[in-house]
Amino acid sequence: MQRDKLINFINKTLGFEKDKDPYLFNSLQVIGRDKVKKVALGVSSSAEMFQKAADWGADLVILHHGIFGPKINKPIGRVLKKRLKILFDNDLTLLTYHLFLDRHPELGNNAQIIKKLGAQKGKQFGKMDKLYWGFEAKFKDPVSISKLIQKCKDLCGFSVKAFKYGPEKIKNLAVVSGGGPYLLSEAVDKNLDVYITGEARESTEAWAKDAGIHFIYLGHYNSEKFGLQALGKVIKKKFPGLKIKFIDIPNQL
């Protein structure tokens, strides 16, 4: 299919708005060939990610963490040059959706995590830079903290860790995928039982302990697979002739 038609569909599906994300440059980052038959999905930029996509025969790559931030104020060094060379040599198009693959109310990482944990998504949560990145959620029937942690491990595997300082039975929680440990204070202020994100900081455990809240971190990388996988299914449903592949590059953080 025609590349720009696919890009327009993805932009519309995710509610893309130019310059909305304060951290990363979203949507089209590198332009490649006009026609698309294979779409590779991945979480983060790396030479390994791009080479595996090229070896598979991808025409277009969609990532959560792209290669450019909102401002480019330094030269292209060896690492970025290596990654760009793979993209250029293989005529690959690169798309990135950071904010929009976190906060989307259905396809986003946070909405998908809540759904997979068996909770019911509530109002927006995690306000930073005048934007909400995640959601609150509730369980119809309270679950034990041990059961919730196991559900998280079933989703994200070895990277899941927890600071258990909240109640035994969990009624409500909030989820912000990726690097959201700094939003723990918002969960405390809202009297939530659990806060789930991708990673912790040095001060996190003491803060959770003093506040009497559970803090679960899934791994930054592992918490941000789900939006891409959900987007891939939507693309496949709309354009069944396309081949879609999620390329996993294991990351311990």
Give the start-to-end residue ranges of the domains of the chain.
3-97, 102-223
On average, the pLDDT of the chain sits at: 96
pTM: 0.96
Q: Which stretches of the chain score pLDDT less than 70?
A: 72
Determine the pLDDT at residue 252.
84
Mention the CATH class of domain 3-97: alpha beta
Question: Which pLDDT tens digit goes with each residue over 71-91?
Answer: 767 788 999 999 999 999 999
**What is the spatial distance between Cα 186 and Cα 75, in angstroms, rounded to a whole number?**
38
Identical fold for domains 3-97 and 102-223, yes or no, is yes
Q: What is the DSSP letter of 46?
A: -
d(CA 97, CA 104): 11
Identify the pLDDT of residue 129: 86
pLDDT for the residue 74? 79
pLDDT of residue 99: 96
Which among 32, 46, 52, 36 has a CA at the least distance from the CA of 94?
32
Kindly report the CATH class assigned to 102-223: alpha beta
- 114 secondary structure, DSSP code: H
> Residues 218-253: pLDDT tens digits?
999 999 999 999 999 999 999 999 999 999 999 988
Res 73: pLDDT: 72
Q: Do 152 and 143 touch, CB atoms closer than 8 A? A: no
Q: Tell me, what's the pLDDT at 70? A: 74
Nearest to 164 by CA among 189, 146, 151, 184: 146
Please list, in sequence order, all residues whose beta carbon lies within 8 angstroms of the beta carbon of residue 78, skipping any fewer than 6 positions away. none
